[in-house]
């Protein structure tokens, strides 16, 4: 499973990219606003840090302007993925981007039929928002399973990018249910390797080793 970070904090990205376990980055208008920096500058800096896909979202809502914005974003670096909303205008833009070789991430997906339409339009990634569905009394992982079944049945190439991830359990379930990727906050990324029994076990090992008075080096 590919792991993306959902952040515009380039200092954090630079730190976590050193693990060699980071596959890409997603951004959105809210994260750009929080950064307090020019969007094109932030995306360029992220692309210099991360070799994998970097999603940059258009602000327009009509197809023609989405295409202009998307082409400008895609020109920043070869790994930029143009992020568009799951609307009719967005899907029309995706079709045009797909034909011109520009990668796309269709965002704000909340149903399997929306995901099917995005795949038919030629989306590179589909972003189902599992956490937001959970917030409204649904089970976001049901959507991951439904999309996986449809994509496998019809051999769609679009990758499922589980979004609105809140917890390690979300990441685990997305992996179990066949998501190709998950985009997660930095703290959840760090928490993926944590377990209290690991900490206790290491503490015991180190204590016992110290008693031997030995050194490997």
What gap in Å lies between CA 148 and CA 179, rounded to an integer? Answer: 7
Residues labelled as active-site residues = 83
Report whether 152 contacts 131 (CB < 8 A).
no
In this structure, the number of other CB atoms found within 10 A of the CB of residue 79 comes to 17
What gap in Å lies between CA 55 and CA 67, rounded to an integer? Answer: 15
DSSP string, 83-118: EEESSHHHHHHHHHHHHTT--EEEEEE-SHHHHHHH
* HSE-CB of 136 using CA atoms within 13 angstroms: 7
What gap in Å lies between CA 174 and CA 129, rounded to an integer? Answer: 11
Compute CA distances 102 → 70, 113, 123, 141, 216, whole Å: 9, 23, 10, 29, 52
What gap in Å lies between CA 61 and CA 147, rounded to an integer? Answer: 25
């Amino acid at each position: 499973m590919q792991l993306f970070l959902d952040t515009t904090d380039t200092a954090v990205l630079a730190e976590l990219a050193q693990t060699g376990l980071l596959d890409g980055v997603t951004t959105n208008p809210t994260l750009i606003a929080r950064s307090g920096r020019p969007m094109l500058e932030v995306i360029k800096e992220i692309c210099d840090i991360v070799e994998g896909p970097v999603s940059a979202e258009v602000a327009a809502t009509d197809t023609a302007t989405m295409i202009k914005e998307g082409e400008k974003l895609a020109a920043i670096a070869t790994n930029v993925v143009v992020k568009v909303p799951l609307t009719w205008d967005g899907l029309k833009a995706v079709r045009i981007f797909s034909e011109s070789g520009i990668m796309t991430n269709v965002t704000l997906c909340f149903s399997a039929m929306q995901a099917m339409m995005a795949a038919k339009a030629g989306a590179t990634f589909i972003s189902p928002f599992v956490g937001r569905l959970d917030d409204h009394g649904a089970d976001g992982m049901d959507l991951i399973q439904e999309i996986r079944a449809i994509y496998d049945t019809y051999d769609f190439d679009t990758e499922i990018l589980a979004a609105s991830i809140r917890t390690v359990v979300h990441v685990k379930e997305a992996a179990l249910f066949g998501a190709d990727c998950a985009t997660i906050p930095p703290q959840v990324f760090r928490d993926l390797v944590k377990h209290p029994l690991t900490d206790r076990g290491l503490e015991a090992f180190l204590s016992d080793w110290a008693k031997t008075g030995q050194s490997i080096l």
